[in-house]
Structure 1
Amino acid sequence: MRPDDLVLPDTGASAAALEVASAYCSPALLNHSIRSYLWGAAHATAHDIAFDAELLYVAALLHDLGLVPEFDSHTVPFEEAGGHVAWVFAAAAGWPADRRRRVSDVIVRHMWNRVDRADDPEGHLLEYATSLDISGRGADALPASLRTDVLERYPRLGLPDEFITCFKDQATRKPGSAAASAIAAGITDRATTNPLDG
């Protein structure tokens, strides 16, 4: 399996989501978002998980917008802020109410410890993919050639340092958040020893 085997969705909403993410995310966060889609799609292909490619792609591209200054919230965790931004984006894209709610839920759930694939395949795939990209969990389950190709096309660009800085800031300001729990549980060590950076 190679990145070219994983077709990026070609829809108006997908193109707009890439434009939004490119405008607001740092290069490291943008590449992380694209890799998250690719890791999730590869996992789905390998495990015969049927999923909505457009929904996963839009969620992957927008899932960290709550970390950027323009959309950071001082009252809700970053994943909830990102979910709200995605809902507004989806409304502007003309998505029906149920689909707006879905993209928001997928983004919120990417910070859960586990999302059941039967209940929410896109949420499961984004949770899996973001965990893999940040901490390296499950990296060996993907073919080495795929990992190499994806990382060459979308390099990490110092993601661990930027990510940990964002999460420590979230933890300080929002001590009850999932980001704070992740810091307390040792995400810093896992992110800085991620085999994808090896």
Structure 2
Amino acid sequence: MDHYFTAPDSRAARAALEVCEEHTEPWLRNHSLRAYSWATARAAIEDVEHDGELLYVAALLHDLALTPPFDSHTLPFEEAGGRVAKVFAAGAGWAAPRRDRLAEVIVLHMRDDVPAEVDPESHLLQVAVSADVSGRRLDEFPPDFREALLARFPRLGFASGFLARAADQADRKPDCAAAGLMRTGWAERVRNNPLDRG
């Protein structure tokens, strides 16, 4: 099971972890690390072939624009995050098409579900983030994996911290995806995520 928690061995992966650790609070950093682990576990369950490095970097940077240094007052956070990630990827030496893919995966994590056969990395990140944030499809993951994941990367008040950021995004950008979610029962699902019980 340790391989679900093991980062790809690449310069870009190590740099993404450094950026995440430097610019995100512990509750948001752990969410990003859990997102990668949820995604790799889902890939194993569904037998989804994917680009591990691309998925890891996207998972670690997908919420970077929720942090004060990278927050945009005009763009939805996922679009701003995609643009920040493209700058990061350029610095890591990724070619333009790979930089574009990274941004696309980050943007799509807040969009309608993408089938694995169409876009495996976006699909895996969408499933991972929705499981971690609102508890969606948790029953499709083995209980022992869930327990090991929370032991390795504790929640640390994730729900309250994340909802505060989402509400702020919604207030300032009423047409963004976060605002759309806040107009539904999503916030209550986040508060009642089974991962935060006990």
TM-score range with shorter-chain normalisation? over 0.9
Aligned to 1:172: 171
Q: CA deviation at 1:117?
A: 1.3
Residue 41 of structure 2 aligns with an amino acid whose one-letter code is A
Is there any run of 5+ residues in structure 2 with no aligned partner, and where?
Answer: none
AA paired with 1:5? H
Separation (CA, whole Å) in 2 of partners of 1:36 and 1:100: 20
Q: Which residue of 2 aligns with 1:89?
A: 88
**Distance between the aligned counterparts of 2:12 and 2:100, measured in 1?**
15
Residue 38 of structure 1 is matched in structure 2 by 37
Deviation of 1:17 (Å):
0.1
Aligned to 1:153: 152
Match of 1:98 in 2: 97
Deviations 1:87-117 (A, max 9, x none): 0000000001100000000000000131121
Cα offsets for 1:128-152 (capped at 9, x unmatched) = 1000000000111111001000100
Other-structure match for 1:162: 161
How far apart, in 1, do the equivalents of 2:130 and 2:158 lie? 13
| Alpha-carbon distance between aligned partners in 2 of 1:174 and 1:159, rounded to the nearest angstrom | 22
Residues 133-183 of structure 1 show CA distances to partners (whole Å, capped at 9, x for unaligned) of 000001111110010001001000000000000000000000000000010
Alpha-carbon distance between aligned partners in 2 of 1:24 and 1:31, rounded to the nearest angstrom: 12
Residue type at the aligned position of 2:143:
A
Identical pairs, percent = 53
Q: How does 1:123-134 map to 2 (within 5 A)?
A: 123-134=122-133
1-side partners of 2:64 and 2:35: how far apart?
Answer: 14
The alpha carbon displacement at 1:68 in A equals 0.4
Could you list the runs of 4 or more consecutive aligned residues of structure 1 that deviate by over 4 angstroms after TM superposition?
Answer: none
State the distance in 1 between where 2:54 and 2:3 align: 19
* Structure 2 equivalent of residue 5 of structure 1: 3
What is the deviation of 1:28? Answer: 0.4
Name the aligned partner's letter for residue 186 of structure 1: G
Paired residue type of 2:194? P
Mapped pair 1:53 → 2:52: yes
Q: Residues of 1 paired with 2:195 and 2:163: CA distance?
A: 16
TM-score, structure 1 normalization: 0.97
Instruction: For residue 79 of structure 1, give the secondary structure of its aligned residue in structure 2.
Output: helix
Q: Under a length normalisation based on structure 2, what TM-score does the superposition of the two structures give?
A: 0.97
For residue 136 of structure 2, what is the aligned residue in structure 1? 137
Distance 1:65 1:140 in 2: 28
Cross-structure match for 1:70: 69
| 3-state SS, counterpart of residue 69 of structure 2 | coil
**Corresponding pairs, count:** 196
Is 2:3 the counterpart of 1:16?
A: no
- Amino acid in the other structure paired with 2:99: R
